[in-house]
Structure 1
Amino acid sequence: MLAKRDRHAAIRRLVSGRPVGSQGELVAALASLGFEVTQATVSRDIAELGLAKVMRGEHSVYVNPEDLGPAARPASDERLRRILADIPVAIGRSGLILVLTGQPGTANVIAQAIDESTLSDQVGTVAGDNTLIVLFPDEPALDRWLERFHAIQAPAEPAALMEARSR
């Protein structure tokens, strides 16, 4: 029987090397490599590895968190922009708390990208599986943050389109 760490390494290679859209596909791919696993085992492995499921074209696939893009140093919004291009995020509000909801398994990736970005008006972020909350000290800080978040979330317009609009 192959060791868990070997299985985890194989899973990371598989999702980095080709589109894997379901746990069943992952079970089959692992079986072809000599791993005897159940869907329940693969489900636990996915959680332990922190894999995220994101849209690639018309299909959702598993990805390693680090494959979503390296954290920029110094603080940069580029990683957050790339992640938000792949992961649809709905935003709700309750008082001085924003509730961001993405796909299952994506909240930690989004929260980390927020923490590493230039967004700084928040007091903190707390992530679950698909939902994270962003806490604010006051209304103006929340409003500033939300405006900047939407600007990061919006796809950049091509220069030609922006130039055409200015005419």
Structure 2
Amino acid sequence: MSNGSRAGGTLMKKQERQRYIRELLKANNIDKQEDFVILLKKEGITVTQATISRDIKEMQLIKVPATDGTYSYNLPVQKQLNTEKKLTKTLKDAFISTDVQNEMCLIKVTPGSGPAIVSLIEQMNYSFVFGTLGGDGSALIICHSNKDALKLSRIINEIVIE
């Protein structure tokens, strides 16, 4: 098996496993590679420590100080800054409007820009975003609550106005 992981008995793609790792980083302070193995196993994903080690390198995870004085893995800050710059540029070039209904924020953009906006918002790892759907000229961002959807709408509008 090339990537060393299975979910529900089927081979899991590296991209999907790394998405799980990003989710784990948002929800947990993880200070050891073994913690990733344990947490992924709880999700039904069997993975080796060697695979996690390769993922950490590829994802360029770094250890940062936690509030309790220990160190935990995190996504690199520079990657976040680069993604934010890309999101800002893409929104400034393509933004048409934004609207909120319940926990959903709909961002209307120029044709062809929807998938890029969705991808960049996913890369931002906003904790209040539940999921995304990208169409040709729109991005539907599903948040955890109406308050979160309004927050995202404000962020998007501030980016476009600045």
What TM-score, normalized by structure 1, do the two folds share?
A: 0.45
Q: Which has the higher strand share?
A: 2
What TM-score, normalized by structure 2, do the two folds share?
A: 0.46
